[in-house]
Amino acid sequence: MPFHLWQAVLLALCLLSGCSANYVFDDADYRPLGDPQAARRGH
């Protein structure tokens, strides 16, 4: 199976997009993953 340029570009985009996804969305507040204490936990 030949490896085409578009497959290499798609693979690179998938790998790079995973590196930039460092934040989670929770009730209109962003916080970094790995932050053990949320600002308003349980509210």
Q: Is residue 25 in some structural domain?
A: yes
Which pLDDT value is given to residue 15?
79
Q: Is residue 41 in some structural domain?
A: no
Domain containing residue 11: 1-33
Give the burial class of 24: count Cβ atoms within 10 A of its Cβ; 0-12 exposed, 13-18 middle, 19 or more buried: exposed
Q: Rounded to two decimals, what is the model's pTM? A: 0.37
Which pLDDT value is given to residue 4?
82
> Using one digit for the tens of pLDDT, what is the confidence trace for 1-43?
466 898 889 988 887 776 555 555 555 566 666 656 656 666 5
Q: Is residue 42 in some structural domain?
A: no
Q: Is residue 27 in some structural domain?
A: yes
Number of structural domains, the chain? 1
